[in-house]
Amino acid sequence: MSEPNDLSAFWMPFTDNRGFKANPRMFVAAEGMHYTAAAGHKVLDATGGLWCVNAGHGRTRIVEAIRQAAGTLDFAPTFQLAHPLAFEAASRLALLMPEGLDRIFFTNSGSESVDTALKIALAYQRARGQGTRTRLIGRERGYHGVGFGGISVGGILGNRRQFGTLLTGVDHMRHTHDLARNAFSRGAPQHGAELADDLERIVALHGADTIAAVIVEPVAGSTGVLVPPQGYLQRLRAICDAHEILLIFDEVITAFGRVGTATASERFGVTPDIITMAKGLTNAAVPMGAVAVRREVHDCVVNSAGPGIELFHGYTYSGHPLAAAAAIATLDVYAEEGLFEKAIELESYWEDAVHSMKRARHVIDCRNVGLIGGIELEPRPGAPTKRAMEVFHRCFDTGLLIRVTGDIIALSPPLILDKSHIDAIFGKLTEVLATID
């Protein structure tokens, strides 16, 4: 039997469990832009927790909304029943979405949002008499959560290799990362729009009449901040339209101000048929995800069904009262404090700070969009990922939280930051990189 403070019982996600438990690094509190570590020192949060605390930590308005909801209605099912907060949260969220994407399905995470979106795409194609369209297309280096659907369309080897063949009928487009032509691009890289044409290759191979949907991250986050080349998303939209393929944007990371607008769809001027969300929806205070669906897609599925249930899918906690309350309060904070607009105001200063790292030791690329930054390090010979992990640990120990993926440092701070925080983030990073071999 485990002792109460024994570290062995918790099998930690995406973690070197043996390494962590030999030298644990823990948080015990958080407020504003900072965590407090168990050792007592403050840690400046340069990652918004895990891409998710967009409004900063410990927001009283969100905490009070959760407390009130818990004391009034701790749970209510949304299978054939409901509660008012779920409808209010859906209506509020729909107002932020691109025009026409105003039907909201609630989930509990980004992974569930992706699997929900893929199932809706399949249901839609069947409902409109295109039942042969069962193929799902992802992209190399894509990350779409850890459900079997999300792993299948995802393109990160480490997330796939342990789990067998996954879903059948899945294919992948080429990724867009091109260091040779686009290193140190500011914002959207100049080269690479033609990479969207790889979808045409897949259509020619399998036939358009077999393809239900394509899913991409507008900005690929977990693989290391890959910003879409100029014109790439527009070209992808046009190809999907030409072949009657649904386009899904995975905006679990990019929604809610991360790129300076409510969605990356708005930022890049490309409207998909379905958007997946989570993370910043509730400022991470309560787990919640959502899928925004184009009204025509929703209506086709619902109106073509016989009497009774139209979509045989859902989760016990879809639209949970506490999560719905947190979402409403979070959307209020974003609007009243103008946090999306603040991200736009700070973007130029942030961009300059990201690219100042070009002069730092080991750096081979810097990239940015909105308040996202990616700093790619040269891998250590014979030991890929080791250098970045040393940077991660040393930053934490000296008061800075970053995220690393492979040999790439990914940054996504809370939107409440100011220029002094930006200076501190990149000053500390420069110091740490100078000490790492």
Segment 290-332, tens digit of pLDDT: 999 999 999 999 999 999 999 999 999 999 999 999 999 999 9
Residue with tokens 């400022």: 283
What is the pLDDT, as a whole number, of residue 165? Answer: 87
Residues 293, 165 share a domain:
yes
Tokens of 243: 């072949």
**Secondary structure string (H, E, C) spanning 150-181:** HHHHCCCHHHHCCCCCCCCCEEEECCCCCHHH
Cβ-contact 116, 105 below 8 angstroms: yes
pLDDT at residue 3 tops 80: no
Tokens of 351: 């961009």
**Interval 33-74: pLDDT, tens:** 999 999 999 999 999 999 999 999 999 999 999 999 999 999
Which letter does DSSP use for residue 246 in this model? E
What is the pLDDT, as a whole number, of residue 2? Answer: 43
What sections of 191-261 are H helices per DSSP? 198-206, 232-242
Q: Indicate the number of domains in the chain.
A: 2
Q: Domain for residue 284, yes or no?
A: yes
Domain that holds residue 98: 64-337
pLDDT at residue 282 tops 90: yes
Q: Domain for residue 295, yes or no?
A: yes
Q: Domain for residue 133, yes or no?
A: yes
Strands in 359-417 per DSSP E: 363-369, 372-377, 400-401, 403-405, 408-411
Residues 232, 375 share a domain:
no
**Interval 159-176: pLDDT, tens:** 999 999 899 999 999 999
Mean pLDDT of the chain: 97
Domain boundary among 316, 337, 358: 337
Helix (H, G, I), strand (E, B) or coil at 135: strand
Q: Residue 76: which H helix or E strand, with range?
A: none
| Contacts for 92-97: CB closer than 8 Å, 24+ residues apart | 92/327, 92/328, 92/331, 93/277, 93/281, 93/290, 93/292, 93/327, 93/331, 94/292, 96/262, 96/263, 96/331, 97/262, 97/263, 97/275, 97/292
Domain boundary among 313, 337, 361: 337
Q: Which residue, among 33, 113, 130, 20, has the nearest Cα to 412 in the 3D structure?
A: 33
What is the pLDDT, as a whole number, of residue 358? Answer: 98
Residues 270, 217 share a domain:
yes
Q: Measured between alpha carbons, how far is 318 from 115 in angstroms, rounded to an integer?
A: 14
pLDDT at residue 368 tops 70: yes
Residue with tokens 């640990």: 393
Helix (H, G, I), strand (E, B) or coil at 115: helix
**Interval 201-249: pLDDT, tens:** 999 999 999 999 999 999 999 999 999 999 999 999 999 999 999 999 9
Q: Which residue, among 396, 420, 424, 408, has the nearest Cα to 366 in the 3D structure?
A: 408
Q: Domain for residue 12, yes or no?
A: no
What is the pLDDT, as a whole number, of residue 1? Answer: 39
The letter for the amino acid at 347 is E
Q: DSSP characters for 13-67?
A: TTS-HHHHHHS---EEEEEBTEEEETTS-EEEESSHHHHT-TT-B--HHHHHHHH
Residues 380, 240 share a domain:
no
Residues 416, 317 share a domain:
no
**Secondary structure string (H, E, C) spanning 341-369:** HHHHHHHHHHHHHHHHHHHCCCEEEEEEE
Query: What residues are paired with 383 via a beta bridge?
Result: 380
Helix (H, G, I), strand (E, B) or coil at 121: helix
Q: Residue 157: which H helix or E strand, with range?
A: helix 157-160
Residues 300, 359 share a domain:
no
Measured CA distances, 329 to 31, 61, 252, 283, 410 (Å): 17, 6, 19, 9, 28
Residues 91, 144 share a domain:
yes
CATH number at 99 reads 3.40.640.10
Q: Domain for residue 7, yes or no?
A: no
Residue with tokens 């459900």: 147
Q: Measured between alpha carbons, how far is 416 from 24 in angstroms, rounded to an integer?
A: 29
Cβ-contact 37, 27 below 8 angstroms: yes
Residues 330, 373 share a domain:
no
Residues 228, 193 share a domain:
yes
Q: Residue 431: which H helix or E strand, with range?
A: helix 419-435
Helix (H, G, I), strand (E, B) or coil at 384: coil
Q: Domain for residue 174, yes or no?
A: yes
Tokens of 34: 């900072």
pLDDT at residue 4 tops 70: no
pTM assigned to the model = 0.97
Which letter does DSSP use for residue 104 in this model? E
Q: Measured between alpha carbons, how far is 212 from 239 in angstroms, rounded to an integer?
A: 13
Query: What residues are paired with 226 via a beta bridge?
Result: 220
Q: Domain for residue 8, yes or no?
A: no
Q: Domain for residue 196, yes or no?
A: yes
Average pLDDT for residues 281-291, to the nearest whole number? 98
Residues 72, 41 share a domain:
no
What is the pLDDT, as a whole number, of residue 74? Answer: 97
Report the percentage of the chain scoring pLDDT > 70.
99
For residue 47, the number of C-alpha atoms closer than 13 Å in the C-beta half-sphere is 21
Residues 312, 241 share a domain:
yes
Q: Measured between alpha carbons, how far is 240 from 235 in angstroms, rounded to an integer?
A: 9
pLDDT at residue 383 tops 80: yes
Residues 239, 160 share a domain:
yes
Residue with tokens 């990371």: 253
Domain boundary among 314, 337, 360: 337
Q: How confident is the model at residue 283 (pLDDT cuts 50, 70, 90)?
A: very high
CATH number at 28 reads 3.90.1150.10
Average pLDDT for residues 253-266, to the nearest whole number? 98
